C-alpha cells in the first residue's frame, strides 16, 4: 500500500484533514501489522511453538508472594 507510505511522508510537511490522517494511520497499521497474523496462520511450526509457550505460561501460577523489606530512612 504505497498510498499509506506516501501520505505518511506528506503528513510530516503538510497539515492534512483529521480524517485523512486517521485513515493513513489505519492504512499504515494494516500494511505493517498483518504480516505476523499471516505467518502465524500459515506457518505450522511457528504456530505450534507460540501455542506451546502460551500453554506453558498459562499453566504456571501467577499467585506468587514476594517479600519486600522497607529501606530504613535517616
3-state secondary structure the chain: CHHHHHHHHHHCCCCCCHHHHHHHHHHHHHHHHCHHHHHHHHCHHHHHHHHHHHHHHHHCCCCCCCCCCCCCCC
Boundaries of every domain in the chain: 2-55
- This prediction has a pTM of 0.43
pLDDT (tens digit per residue) in 9-61 = 888 899 988 888 888 888 888 777 778 888 888 999 988 988 888 888 777 65
Question: Does position 64 have pLDDT exceeding 80, yes or no?
Answer: no
Amino acid at each position: 500500500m504505497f498510498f499509506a507510505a506516501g501520505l505518511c511522508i506528506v503528513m510530516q510537511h503538510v497539515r492534512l484533514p483529521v480524517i485523512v490522517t486517521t485513515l493513513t494511520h489505519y492504512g499504515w497499521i494494516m500494511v505493517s501489522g498483518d504480516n505476523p497474523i499471516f505467518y502465524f496462520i500459515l506457518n505450522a511450526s511457528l504456530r505450534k511453538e507460540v501455542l506451546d509457550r502460551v500453554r506453558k505460561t498459562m499453566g504456571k501460577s501467577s499467585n506468587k508472594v514476594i517479600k519486600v523489606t522497607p529501606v530504613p530512612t535517616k
